């Protein structure tokens, strides 16, 4: 579904993504995991064509992403960011329906799809008439997911979708997302810095650091890895202490 | 989406309508112009009345168009047909023929430009230097030579007098005056400054009514420096063909107004506060042997409130029209210019730079700048106000678009919306608050700047202000200034309503602290 072939990105000379080759098969859910600034969000933005690679090429569903194809590729991708990225001047309903209306959907079809999606993401229909500032963080995120799913795209990209939510809301949304991913059989790439979230939602995990892929595999692969960074990352996230490579630190 | 190019086209069309030069018009009414001082108003009004009486064409008086350069230019390019001028001014400031001051050589130089000159009207309004009588007594000042011995005195001189080659620089050289304490000052303000003691010496006209009113002493020109400034009428040669009787009547005024007479007429305007038309009417009646109608026409200084109401009725529509058209065009052009500036950053820097430079030009200078291109009156005023109104709109459009958080900008791109849809559905609505604030600022500035439009004959609330400044009539100034201030407040109110209509509701709501759901 998504193929990166030697994709490299620099910001003003600084390497943010080292040449990366990565294939994500259809209907799998891949977690991009790693500390802040490791290049995981950059990778998503490259797939969307928001950034242009300095080297290499990438394709989505068999279409190479270029300036010319970017718009049509984007319409086959649902993108969700922290807080949902909703437009504050539009109601939740208008946010979700924006692109469908732009593409000329008839109003009954739009309304029907909205109803369907509200049930799917478990959002009270009355909330659709509200403006984003009138919604809670969790509700905004659910509306953001509805907007991403509106055209029923085969690929979903989520950039720290739960980043701004408190733990209770986060747990409920995680469960709903897992159900949605399974029900709809989408290909999903999501960015997170939480091992637990990656384990819960991802079929596979890619661990990144300083613009490089350190490890790719299942959760089990990660836990049994020999690589010192991977082990340290896993240990810290598990709530334990960092892997004690240097005994001197004990003192 | 189709509205954007359409709006650009409409703006272009209106600009093209404004742009053509006010072509020399050899038909229509006979237009008499005047400069911005009492004597010029009165002489022009007298000319207008005798021309009207002659009856071959309708006559209008374009009052107080500006200084010498503006009004002479207006005559040359046909915006006006007649105006009163002085021989000394013509020789130096207009024709630059320092050596040839006799009437015959002036006439032939003017004829080459299609302009004719009447015989002198009968008085010489030369430059003079004036001091307060008290200061003259204390410092024993009687002649200009005496000033050479008092280099500490502060001089407040009109920019025209300071700049002319036969003006202050030559005078200072002839008399050996100190140039240390010289300050340029509008003629209308200098007398006031003189009587308050903030300056000691001012330039004056020898027929000026205010010399007596402010208790000033004219210093004798003991070295005969100042040339003669005989009053004459200039008129377009074409006008004499078009309205021969009117021009003949104006020419017949030659030799009928002496220095005492004009001093008296000036005083009636400036001290008694009578209207120029009633002064001219009475002068003509008494000249024709009729009894002066004095009492019936005499009107003291009008009380403020009724005067203001009539100003609002007479000048309000013009002022509102100037501001509305200029602001509307500036919005129509400024918002697209701001959008374009953001897309093409390099062009944007040039646009912002250019509009900033325009903003640093004093509004009055900008108004005068367009006179050679568009003549006097409404068109150059609209163009100047339009250019002046652009900066806040362009700036705020750029700032408003810049302020859109990049996650929202990227969300719109990631959704797969095209650039025009993003602009109209997402970016402009999100920037609408800032853009409207720019239009509001720009419009309020225009309300103020439009008062200056009267200086180039476009009318509006500036008309009583200019006249008031020349007559030193505070009431008259307030009659224009208060309505202008009220209009500015009304504009603020209007935009508060527009904000509610045009800024999307979602952007005006305060965030609610919602419980976790």
In a domain, A133, yes or no: yes
Sorted by sequence, the CB contacts under 8 Å of residue B24 that are 6+ apart come out as B77, B78, B238
Contact check, Cβ <8 Å, A133/B511: yes
Contact check, Cβ <8 Å, A98/B415: yes
Sorted by sequence, the CB contacts under 8 Å of residue A163 that are 6+ apart come out as A82, A83
User: Which residue from B421, B504, B512 is facing A102, i.e. has the nearest CB?
Assistant: B421
Q: Which residue has the tokens 């064509």?
A: A49
Contacts of B510 in chain A (CB under 8 A): 133
Task: Measure the CA–CA gap between A90 and B492, rounded to whole angstroms.
Answer: 27
In a domain, A229, yes or no: no
B182 forms beta bridges with B155
Q: Is A140 on the interface with B (CB under 8 A)?
A: no
Give mean pLDDT, residues B188-201.
82
Predicted confidence at residue B392, as pLDDT, reads 92
Tokens of A85: 């990225």
Contacts of B417 in chain A (CB under 8 A): 98-99, 102
Report helix, strand or coil for B217: strand
Give mean pLDDT, residues B494-504.
92
Q: Which helix (H) or strand (E) segment is B301 a member of?
A: none
Predicted confidence at residue B221, as pLDDT, reads 84
Q: Is B421 on the interface with A (CB under 8 A)?
A: yes
CA distance A131 to chain B (A): 5
Task: Measure the CA–CA gap between B44 and B75, rounded to whole angstroms.
Answer: 13
Tell me the H-state helices in B19-79. 38-54, 68-76
Tokens of B246: 């009117």
Predicted confidence at residue B151, as pLDDT, reads 85
**One-character DSSP codes across chain A:** -EEEEEEEEEETTEEEEEEEEEEE-TT-EEEEE-STTSSHHHHHHHHTTSS--SEEEEEETTEE--TTTHHHHHTTEEEEEGGGG--TTS-HHHHHHHHHHHTT--HHHHHHHHHHHHHHHT--GGGGGS-GGGS-HHHHHHHHHHHHHTT--SEEEEESTTTTS-HHHHHHHHHHHHHHHHHHT-EEEEEES-HHHHHHH-SEEEEEETTEEEEEE-HHHHHT---HHHHHHHHHHTTSPPP---GGGG-
The terminus-to-terminus CA distance of chain A in angstroms comes to 51
User: Which residue from B408, B515, B517 is facing A87, i.e. has the nearest CB?
Assistant: B408
Contacts of B433 in chain A (CB under 8 A): none
Contact B448, B488 (CB under 8 A): yes
Domain of residue A117: give its range: 88-152
In a domain, A96, yes or no: yes
Q: pLDDT 10s digit of each residue in chain A, 251 long?
A: 899 998 999 998 888 999 989 999 888 999 998 888 888 889 999 999 999 999 999 999 889 999 899 999 999 999 998 877 899 999 999 999 999 999 999 999 999 999 999 999 999 999 999 999 999 988 999 999 999 999 999 999 999 888 778 888 888 889 999 999 888 889 999 998 888 888 889 899 999 988 889 889 888 888 888 788 888 888 887 765 544 444 433 33
Contact B470, B273 (CB under 8 A): no
Predicted confidence at residue A238, as pLDDT, reads 76
Sorted by sequence, the CB contacts under 8 Å of residue B159 that are 6+ apart come out as B184, B186
Contacts of A79 in chain B (CB under 8 A): 411, 414-415
Contact check, Cβ <8 Å, A169/B517: yes
Q: Mark which residues 428-457 of B lie under 8 Å from A by CB.
A: 429-430, 432
How many separate domains does chain A show? 1
Report helix, strand or coil for B218: strand
User: Which residue from A71, A83, A90 is facing B416, i.e. has the nearest CB?
Assistant: A71
In a domain, A7, yes or no: no
Torsion of CA B439, B441, B445, B450, to 10 degrees: 30
Sorted by sequence, the CB contacts under 8 Å of residue B2 that are 6+ apart come out as none
User: Which residue from A90, A99, A147 is facing B506, i.e. has the nearest CB?
Assistant: A90
If one compares A144 and B4, the residue with the highest pLDDT of the two is A144
Predicted confidence at residue B170, as pLDDT, reads 87
Tokens of B149: 């011995």
pLDDT reading at B299 higher than 60? no
In a domain, A135, yes or no: yes
Task: Measure the CA–CA gap between B28 and B13, rounded to whole angstroms.
Answer: 26
Report helix, strand or coil for B328: helix
Q: Tell which of B408, B411, B421, B434 to mutate to test the A interface (max A CBs under 10 Å).
A: B411
Domains and CATH numbers, chain B: 25-123+229-297 (3.40.190.10), 127-219 (3.40.190.120), 304-508 (1.10.3720.10)
Q: Tell which of B414, B431, B504 to mutate to test the A interface (max A CBs under 10 Å).
A: B414
Q: What is the pLDDT of residues B17-45, one digit of tens each?
A: 444 433 444 567 899 999 888 899 999 99
Contacts of A98 in chain B (CB under 8 A): 415, 417, 425
If one compares B457 and B29, the residue with the highest pLDDT of the two is B29
In a domain, A12, yes or no: no
**One-character DSSP codes across B462-515:** HHHHHHHHHHT-HHHHHHHHHHHHHHHHHHHHHHHHHHHHHS-HHHHSPPP-PP
In terms of average pLDDT, the best of B63-72, B149-158, B189-198 is B149-158
Task: Measure the CA–CA gap between B342 and B349, rounded to whole angstroms.
Answer: 9
Q: What is the pLDDT of residues B129-187, one digit of tens each?
A: 889 888 888 988 888 988 888 888 888 888 778 877 778 888 888 898 887 788 887 77
Q: Is B511 exposed, middle or buried (0-12, 13-18, 19+ CB in 10 A)?
A: exposed
Predicted confidence at residue B302, as pLDDT, reads 56
Contact check, Cβ <8 Å, A74/B413: yes
Helices B474-502 and B428-449, axial angle in degrees (round to 10) = 170
Task: Measure the CA–CA gap between B309 and B454, rounded to whole angstroms.
Answer: 18
Task: Measure the CA–CA gap between B475 and B307, rounded to whole angstroms.
Answer: 9
In a domain, A145, yes or no: yes
Q: Name the residue among A78, A38, A45, A36 with its Cα closest to residue A188.
A: A78
Contact A206, A216 (CB under 8 A): yes
Contact B370, B66 (CB under 8 A): no
Q: Is B405 on the interface with A (CB under 8 A)?
A: no
Task: Measure the CA–CA gap between B360 and B357, rounded to whole angstroms.
Answer: 5
Q: Which residue has the tokens 């008296």?
A: B264
In a domain, A175, yes or no: no
Predicted confidence at residue B411, as pLDDT, reads 92
Contact check, Cβ <8 Å, B414/A74: yes
- CA-based radius of gyration for chain B: 27
Predicted confidence at residue B3, as pLDDT, reads 47
Contact check, Cβ <8 Å, A132/B408: no
**One-character DSSP codes across B105-173:** HHHHHHHTTTEEEPPP-S-B--EEEEEEHHHHHHHT--BHHHHTT-TT--EEE-HHHHHSTTSHHHHHH
Pick the residue from chain B with its C-alpha nearest to A137: B516
């Amino acid at each position: 579904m998504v193929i990166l072939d030697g994709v490299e990105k620099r910001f003003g000379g600084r390497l943010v993504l080292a040449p990366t080759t990565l294939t994500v098969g259809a209907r799998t859910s891949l977690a991009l995991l790693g500390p802040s600034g490791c290049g995981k969000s950059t990778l998503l933005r490259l797939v969307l064509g928001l950034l242009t690679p300095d080297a290499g090429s990438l394709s989505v569903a068999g279409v190479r992403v270029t300036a010319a194809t970017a718009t049509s590729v984007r319409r086959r991708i649902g993108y969700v960011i922290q807080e949902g990225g909703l437009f504050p001047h539009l109601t939740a309903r208008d946010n979700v329906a924006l692109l469908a209306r732009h593409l000329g959907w008839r109003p009954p079809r739009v309304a029907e799809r909205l109803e369907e999606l509200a049930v799917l993401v478990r959002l009270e229909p009355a909330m659709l008439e509200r403006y984003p500032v009138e919604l809670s963080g969790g509700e905004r995120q659910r509306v953001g997911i509805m907007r991403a799913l509106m055209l029923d795209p085969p690929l979903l990209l989520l950039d720290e979708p739960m980043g701004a939510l408190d733990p209770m809301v986060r747990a409920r949304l995680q469960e709903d997302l897992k159900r949605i991913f399974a029900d709809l059989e989408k290909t999903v790439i999501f960015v997170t810095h939480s091992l637990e979230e990656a384990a819960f939602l991802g079929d596979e995990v890619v661990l990144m650091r300083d613009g490089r892929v350190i490890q790719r595999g299942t959760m089990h692969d990660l836990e049994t890895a020999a690589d010192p960074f991977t082990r340290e990352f896993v240990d810290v996230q598990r709530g334990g202490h960092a892997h004690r490579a240097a005994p001197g630190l004990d003192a | 989406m189709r509205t954007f190019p359409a709006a650009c086209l409409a703006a272009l069309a209106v600009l093209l309508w404004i742009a053509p030069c006010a072509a020399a018009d050899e038909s229509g009414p006979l237009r008499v112009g005047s400069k911005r001082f009492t004597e010029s108003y009165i002489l022009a009004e007298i000319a207008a009345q005798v021309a009207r009486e002659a009856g071959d064409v309708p006559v209008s008086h374009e009052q107080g168009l500006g200084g010498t350069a503006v009004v002479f230019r207006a005559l040359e390019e046909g915006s006006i047909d007649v105006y009163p001028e002085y021989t000394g001014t013509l020789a130096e400031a207009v024709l630059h023929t320092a050596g040839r001051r006799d009437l015959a050589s002036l006439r032939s130089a003017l004829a080459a430009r299609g302009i004719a000159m009447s015989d002198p009207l009968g008085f010489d309004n030369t430059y003079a230097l004036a001091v307060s009588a008290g200061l003259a007594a204390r410092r024993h000042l009687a002649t200009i030579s005496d000033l050479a011995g008092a280099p500490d005195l502060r001089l407040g001189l009109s920019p025209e007098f300071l700049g002319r080659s036969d003006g202050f620089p030559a005078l200072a050289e002839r008399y050996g005056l100190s140039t240390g304490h010289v300050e340029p000052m509008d003629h209308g303000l200098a007398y006031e400054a003189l009587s308050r003691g903030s300056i000691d010496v001012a330039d004056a006209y020898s027929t000026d009514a205010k010399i007596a009113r402010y208790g000033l002493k004219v210093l004798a020109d003991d070295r005969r420096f100042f040339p003669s400034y005989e009053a004459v009428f200039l008129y377009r040669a074409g006008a004499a063909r078009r309205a021969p009787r009117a021009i003949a009547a104006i020419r017949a005024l030659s030799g009928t107004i002496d220095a005492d007479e004009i001093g008296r007429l000036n005083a009636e305007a400036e001290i008694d506060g009578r209207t120029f038309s009633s002064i001219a009417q009475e002068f003509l009646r008494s000249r024709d042997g009729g009894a002066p109608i004095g009492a019936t026409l005499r009107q003291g200084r009008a009380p403020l409130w009724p005067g203001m109401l009539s100003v609002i009725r007479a000048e309000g529509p013009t002022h509102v029209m100037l501001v509305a058209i200029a602001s509307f065009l500036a919005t129509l052009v400024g918002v697209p210019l701001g959008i374009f500036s953001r897309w093409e950053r390099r062009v944007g820097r040039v646009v912002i730079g250019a509009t900033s430079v325009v903003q640093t030009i004093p509004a009055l200078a900008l108004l005068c700048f367009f006179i050679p291109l568009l003549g006097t009156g409404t068109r150059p005023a609209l163009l100047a106000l339009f250019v002046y109104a652009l900066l806040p709109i362009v700036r705020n459009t750029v700032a408003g678009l810049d302020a859109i958080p990049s996650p929202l900008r990227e969300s719109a791109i990631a959704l797969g919306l095209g650039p025009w849809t993003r602009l109209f559905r997402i970016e402009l609505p999100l920037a609408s608050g800032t853009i409207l604030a720019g239009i509001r600022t720009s419009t309020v500035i225009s309300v103020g700047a439009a008062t200056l439009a009267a200086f180039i004959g476009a009318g509006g609330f500036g008309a009583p202000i200019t006249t008031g400044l020349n007559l030193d009539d505070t009431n008259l100034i307030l009659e224009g200034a208060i309505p202008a201030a009220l209009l500015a407040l009304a504009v603020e109110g209007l935009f508060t309503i527009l904000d509610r209509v045009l800024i999307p509701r979602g952007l005006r709501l305060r965030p609610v602290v919602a419980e976790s759901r």
